[in-house]
Amino acid sequence: MALLELRNVTRRFGDFAAVDDVSLSIEAGEFFTLLGPSGSGKTTILRMIAGFEFPDAGQVLLDGKDLADIPAEKRPIHTVFQSYALFPHLTVAENISFPLRMAHREPADIRQHLKDALEQVHLDAKAGKFPHELSGGEKQRVALARALVNRPRLLLLDESLAALDAKLREEMQVELINLQREVGITFVFVTHAQAEALALSHRIAVINRGKVEQVDEPARLYGFPRNRFVADFIGQITMIPAQVEQVGHGHLHLKVDGLGEIVTPLQQGVAAGDRGVFAIRPEQVRIGVQAELAELKNHFSGEVLSLLYQGDVSVYRVGLTNGTMIEALLPNSAPGRAELFKVGAEIRVGWRHDAGVFLHE
Amino acid sequence: MRRGPWLWTAALAAYAFLYLPLTIVVIYSFNDSRLNAEWVGFTWHWYHDLFHDEDMLIAAGNSLLIASVASLSATLLGTMAGLAIHRYDLKLLNFMVLAPVAMPEILLGVSLLLFFIQVLNLTLGMLSIVLAHITFSIGFVAVIVRAQLTSIDESLFEAARDLGASPWETFRYVTFPLILPAVIAGGLMAFTLSIDDFVVTFFTAGVGVQTLPLRIYSMIKIAVTPEVNAVSTLLMLLTLCMIVLASRFAPDVLKGKT
Ligand SMILES: Nc1ncnc2c1ncn2[C@@H]1O[C@H](COP(=O)(O)OP(=O)(O)O)[C@@H](O)[C@H]1O
Ligand SMILES: [Mg+2]
């Protein structure tokens, strides 16, 4: 049985459904992420799990038991708030031991847990400090320690890393992964940053306008987005309008106006005549002269429109003969040779027959 | 913007307007003459008289008692009102608690008098004064407490619940410590309002009870002796202490930073 289950949960504010018929199933020990643009309903979902909002329809179940009548303070679920919400009148130690005191644990027990928690987040030296004396990263760690100290079944994190600067955020990402593995507690993490979601999660639910668009492991989500929203929201992708010409053995044959035929892997639920887009990631696209790409199933003529040098990689934009534009990403493995092809150069672009996906309109 | 000298002059005039009369009262309380007319010499005489004036001491005792009881009760009720206004965000509730703050005192005095006599059938005295003072102090406390609550991050209260605190524990361990400075400041304000109130007290005191302001009034009806200056000076000093204390406890609220 799943640890946490959302069954057809809807939450309306006035006429507006902030969360619209959402069903999710989260397993024990998972690092599960809700990913979506700002305003898509992620926080509202989290607040219903925590017990600060209540569904207008549907159920939230923990271990198969409906949480409807269980108030926030009785749920074995803790939250790391976006603002950290550290109590300003309490020291680091008092903040972290707060949930233990509320659970009426023995003083000796509290001391032991506090000590362990402080060690776990490397804050032993800051125990007597007040929140306003801490750096952003330290506040973050206090909030984590406080939420984890009495071992909740579930930890909710709302945009927890958003307030940190880029470098610190990367460090905290690593810490978060390690911490989750160490404590073995199920994490439900909310973010609008797709790279963060991909880096941290076991599974990701992509949320858009209160609905779940897709739930998958990061690599599957990236490689096989189910629709245009997911494809566009996660990573870079080029989309070319296309129609399914033929459903073959293991392959789809797509027709692109003014370009020709594209071969791409077979997908379920696709029939000849379907209209949509062919979507391909820039790193799957190769560019070169005719001979280099000859062994690829798909290759076309194009012209280099622009080149963005980014140090580790160069991003080429290539105009195809039918007027569509495709992005190609080339690693700069030979230093000093950034500009392999000049803007305006006539070249070939190509990709393997197992690259890309067809997405319905 | 460049501040011209006229601004300084204007400010100086305003402060002089505010503080000159008070300063004169204080100075003449040390004047060795029965008349508030010309400076004769320094003396503690009037303070000595003051502390041997039986009626004055009784009035002072009454004032302190009334102010203590009224400010404690107003603090309790005003804090609850402030919490309720914040929690339910009701415009009407807010207005109703603030109205007595802005209402002309004489109106409040008259209506309380009628209420006590005609509705409650109360004999005017200590009790009616205390009730009246509570009435006009609640609003001040409520406003200060509410201002403090507004400045607190709402997620702190949710965090407390989230971490296992019942609603009562949330109040006990989070809300209350965070609003305590405002509660104390509100209480001190209520105390100063009560101890130097004249108008409302005048209407609700009846015949038997004297407070300091009432006593001062009845003294100057006969003649303004420097004893009045002395008691006014002491009252001023007490008020000043209270305000300084209050602004130490809730600096943001009283500095208009909310
Ligand atoms: N208490 C509320 N009252 C009215 N509208 C709300 C409330 N909470 C959230 N919303 C609306 O619901 C939508 C989803 O909000 P939220 O869950 O915070 O999104 P996210 O966390 O994905 O940014 C937003 O349009 C927001 O304005
Ligand atoms: Mg949010």
Range of the domain at A315: 236-360
Verify whether the Cβ–Cβ distance A102 to B169 is below 8 Å: yes
Verify whether the Cβ–Cβ distance A72 to B166 is below 8 Å: no
| A59 and A196 share one domain | yes
What is the complex's ipTM, to 2 decimals?
0.82
| A157 and A21 share one domain | yes
CA distance A166 to chain B (A): 25
Question: If pLDDT is split at 50, 70 and 90, which confidence band does A66 have?
Answer: very high
Question: If pLDDT is split at 50, 70 and 90, which confidence band does B53 have?
Answer: confident
Domain count, chain A: 2
- pLDDT at position A288: 85
Higher pLDDT, B168 or B42: B168
What tens digit of pLDDT does each residue of A170-203 get?
A: 888 988 899 899 889 999 999 999 999 999 999 9
Task: Show contacts of A51-55: CB within 8 Å, 24+ apart.
Answer: A51/A75, A51/A77, A51/B161, A51/B162, A52/B158, A52/B161, A52/B162, A53/A11, A54/A11, A55/A9, A55/A10, A55/A11, A55/A19
- pLDDT at position B156: 95
Q: Which atom of ligand 1 is nearest to the CA of A38?
A: 23
Which whole-number Å values give the CA distances from A126 to A134, A150, B158, B182, in the listed order?
A: 8, 20, 25, 29
B45 is written with which tokens? 């005489």
Q: Which of A37, A10, A36, A40 is nearest to A23 (CA)?
A: A10
- pLDDT at position A277: 94
What tens digit of pLDDT does each residue of A236-294 get?
A: 999 999 999 999 888 999 999 989 999 999 988 899 999 999 999 999 999 888 777 88
- State whether residue A285 is helix, strand or coil: coil
Give the mutation candidate from B153, B156, B163, B175 for the A interface (greatest A CB count, under 10 A). B163
Residues of B in contact with A159 (CB under 8 A): none
Q: Where are the domains of chain B?
A: 1-43, 53-256
Last residue of a domain, one of A161, A195, A230: A230
Find the mean pLDDT for residues A296-311. Answer: 90
Last residue of a domain, one of A168, A202, A230: A230
Alpha-carbon gap, residue A236 to A234, rounded angstroms: 7
| A44 and A182 share one domain | yes
Mutate to test the pocket of ligand 1, among A9, A13, A83 (most ligand atoms within 8 A of CB): A13
| A56 and A154 share one domain | yes
Q: Choose among A81, A89, A103: nearest Cβ to B159.
A: A81
Find the mean pLDDT for residues A114-126. Answer: 90
pLDDT at B187 over 80: yes
Higher pLDDT, B225 or A321: A321
Higher pLDDT, B249 or A234: A234
Alpha-carbon gap, residue B23 to B45, rounded angstroms: 19
| A17 and A36 share one domain | yes
Question: If pLDDT is split at 50, 70 and 90, which confidence band does B258 have?
Answer: very low
| A75 and A26 share one domain | yes
- pLDDT at position B248: 79
8-state DSSP, A248: -
- pLDDT at position B226: 83
Find the mean pLDDT for residues B33-50. Answer: 80
Alpha-carbon gap, residue B121 to A234, rounded angstroms: 76
Q: Whose CA is nearest to atom 14 of ligand 1?
A: A41
pLDDT at B89 over 80: no
Q: What is the pTM of this model?
A: 0.82
Question: If pLDDT is split at 50, 70 and 90, which confidence band does B257 have?
Answer: very low
- Give Cα B98 distance to the centre of its chain: 15
Alpha-carbon gap, residue B157 to A77, rounded angstroms: 16
Q: Within the 124-153 window of chain B, which residues sit less than 8 Å (CB to CB) from chain A?
A: 153
The chain B residue lying nearest A79, using CA atoms, is B162
Find the mean pLDDT for residues A47-68. Answer: 94
CATH number, domain with residue A47 = 3.40.50.300
Quote the percentage of chain B above a pLDDT of 90.
25
| Mean model confidence pLDDT for chain B | 85
Last residue of a domain, one of A181, A198, A230: A230
CA distance B29 to chain A (A): 45
DSSP structure string for A185-227: -EEEEEES-HHHHHHH-SEEEEEETTEEEEEE-HHHHHHS-SS
The chain A residue lying nearest B161, using CA atoms, is A73
Question: If pLDDT is split at 50, 70 and 90, which confidence band does B252 have?
Answer: low
Instruction: Tell the CATH topology of B53-256.
Output: MetI-like fold (1.10.3720)
